[in-house]
Amino acid sequence: MIAIGSDHGGFELKQEIMAHLEKRGLEYKDFGTYTPESCDYPVYGKAVARAVASGACDRGIIICGTGIGISITANKIPGIRAALCTDCFCAEATRLHNDANILALGGRVVGPGLALKIVDTFLDTPFSGDERHKRRISMIED
Ligand code: RB5
């Protein structure tokens, strides 16, 4: 189950991503926002991060205008490793190296075509499991 959420700056891209997840037959839970009206990104960043941290959802996707505010918010929740990605190289690397459990995107930064490729790369790349990466990840929350 994928948790997804955005503020108004990511609202349009969230709709595109949800349609894409549906096409791929992937289950998701939409934590809002549900309208394009102006709203506060921490509300949605926290909701998605808590769903992932609790184990209710396996991965998360969060979107605001830049992806910055919502990723800063999500990374405050223990157990969350939210990665703001603007390209597929970073999306792949953050899964392989950081075992990132949330992908953050900027709805005003990446176009929908690239964003969907980033989403696919993030969802389809497993963690490498390498000892050095496990060690570094465990050091994050020491
Ligand atoms: C909202 O205008 C904008 O500040 C927000 O979407 C995000 O970019 C914050 O980091």
The CA 132 to ligand 1 mean position distance, Å, reads 35
Q: Where are the beta strands (DSSP E) in the chain?
A: 2-6, 28-30, 59-64, 82-84, 102-106
89-110: per-residue pLDDT in tens? 999 999 999 999 999 999 999 9
How far is residue 78's CA from residue 97's CA, in Å, rounded to a whole number?
18
Q: Which atom of ligand 1 sits closest to the CA of residue 8? A: 6
Which pTM does this prediction carry? 0.98
Residue 138 CA to residue 9 CA, distance in Å, equals 33
Which atom of ligand 1 lies nearest, measured to the CA of 68?
A: 10
Condensed to tens digits (0 to 9), the pLDDT of residues 6-59 reads: 999 999 999 999 999 999 999 999 999 999 999 999 999 999 999 999 999 999
> In whole angstroms, what is the distance from residue 49 CA to residue 36 CA?
21
Pocket of ligand 1 (CB under 6 A): 7, 9, 41, 64-66, 68-69
